[in-house]
Structure 1
């Protein structure tokens, strides 16, 4: 080492925590809890805690594997350059090993403590995000978010299975809600960070198909999402509290998406409508799934 050079500081616990994408994990944990609490039946609190912990740790492991694989791409994008691996605070091998340890540990613990069906779905969700989306879809097709959206849709399904031990139509609908929500949510973000994706050659929809096509697809998915969110009410899996909430939220989400979809040219407003849609989409999912739990509680208590 030449005089005057210093070695980078070793990674600490904050860097390992950052690998788990904690902001994304918040939504994963919340929808997993909602799936668990909305499911019919009862579950021991310790088993319930174990299930949610495994969902969170598994998601964190998949996120670490994503950052291990995409370290070079992350280094080229302003939005992700400060992550532990591209910033030089952690070597790629450590990120990889951490990701595999979290992933394997979460699946094994889920199987032993909760059930092997839930563990199998958790394992597939990790594989879906870390391999199908990260390695295969993302660098190859602008449909990466559409198909890859399934990766973030598994938590409520897993939470439901943890209670019931089987897969029925209702948890599948919860999966489909997040699956359909993901494209308008993520493409709204992609519209105002598309320069980053273009710079590193990631074929996100705005980069490949252009802004106009992306805007139209955002509106189309938001409109198509509305009947999917109402389906739990229609089949009797949720009551009027959830149904009315889904209708109101869906109409607002669709209106904001159509506003973005109809913009032919974007004035110098910093893409304010697109940013509004992105922020609302996060609130939308939290409130929708939260009301699903409240609806279930109201039904159990005989309030509806």
Structure 2
């Protein structure tokens, strides 16, 4: 056994000593700060990524109205949303647990509860498993088993395919990883009808195609963060012009897919108007990002990021309101 001093050659102190035994370093550390109930609760909420869950809810409830052709049973809506929240919470908690190593390095994620120490790794993992199992049982027993299996598929895809396989290996990570974020659309439809038709498939396609032009601008802003942890987001491995062009192409594809819903689901004038006007705005913002990148100007990717959220919210609000109108 060896007792050695850490740091400089100044006078030793209790805090500066370490014990080396069998090549294992045992450092003198201050006791872990006690976290109160309120902070612990807030930490669990942060673990679920509530802003992501908000978007999932925005795409679930309106789809249920469209599937029912009117206002569905409110208990059914509430039960589906609760199950969806538990499912998304599980997937996001697993993601935070698996990515805790890079979250400690990136400035964007340094306040997550596993980085700050407000939650332990074990607490996060237990929460992820419990909420995941509970979401499947909740949806299966209270809604239907098709919705439950779709929920399970969303968790498994986000954790196993996106987080463990795609995220750190390919710049197409967010494209295919976005499949998990599309599942609430299918879950909402299945909860009402017990089956899937072409209408929810198109709605799935809208969210799928929307995800890259929504997330790539964010990765442009935090390019240095992703580069520091070797995550090959498109903005890391390609220049701003290429990213801007891809955002434009996916924005056009998203709007085109949204218009397919008009003949397939018999959408009315409200949805058609919102899809056209909102889509035109989304495309214009995407083109502005690309044009600025080409001119090597001051690129403001967060403008597209925020406009994409507004666009998707408006489109799905129209999905839910349109069936309630008499024309």
TM-score range, shorter chain: over 0.9
Structure 1's consecutive aligned runs of 4 or more residues displaced over 4 angstroms after TM superposition are: 1-4
Partners of 2:286 and 2:304 within 8 A in 1: yes
**Which one of 29, 44, 62 corresponds to residue 57 of structure 2?**
29
- Which aligned pairs between 1:195-210 and structure 2 lie closer than 5 A? 195-210=224-239
Deviation track 1:51-88 (CA, whole Å, cap 9, x = no partner) reads 11001111011100000000011111000011000122
Q: What are the residue-to-residue correspondences of 1:117-136 with 2, within 5 Å? A: 117-136=146-165
Would the aligned equivalents of 2:63 and 2:189 in 1 still touch at CA under 8 Å? yes
Contact 1:34 1:156 (C-alpha < 8 Å) held by counterparts: no
Aligned-partner Cα distance in 1 for 2:296–2:308: 20
Cα deviation 1:184-239 (Å, max 9, x = unaligned) = 00001111111000000100001112222111101111111111010110224322
Could you tell me how far 1:43 is from its partner in structure 2? 4.2
Alignment of 1:71-150 (within 5 A): 71-150=100-179
Q: Which residue of 1 aligns with 2:22?
A: none
**How many equivalent pairs are there?**
297
Structure 1 residues 4, 233: CA separation in 2 closer, same or farther (over 3 Å shift)? closer
Match of 1:9 among 34, 55, 58: 34
Report what 2:281 is aligned to.
252
Do structure 1's residue 281 and structure 2's residue 311 form an aligned pair?
A: no
Gaps of 5+ in 2: 1-13, 16-27
Return the alpha-carbon distance in structure 1 between the equivalents of residues 34 and 217 of structure 2: 36
TM-score, length basis structure 1:
0.94
The corresponding residue for 1:154 is 183
Report the secondary structure of 2:178's partner residue: helix
Indicate yes or no: 2:320 matched with 1:293.
yes
Aligned residue number for residue 94 of structure 2: 65
SS in 1 for 2:68: coil
CA RMSD in angstroms comes to 1.6
Q: Determine the structure 1 residue equivalent to 2:48.
A: 20
Mapped to 1, the partners of 2:200 and 2:77 lie a distance apart of: 17
Structure 1: runs of 5+ lacking an equivalent: none
Partner of 2:4: none
- Which whole-Å CA distance do the structure 1 matches of 2:42 and 2:58 have between them? 22
Is 1:239 paired with 2:268?
yes
Tell me, what secondary structure is at the counterpart of 1:142?
Answer: coil
Distance of aligned partners of 1:199 and 1:4 in 2 relative to their CA distance in 1, 3 Å threshold: closer
Q: Distance in 1 between matches of 2:196 and 2:285?
A: 34
- Equivalence map 1:178-189=2 (5 Å): 178-189=207-218
Larger Rg: 2
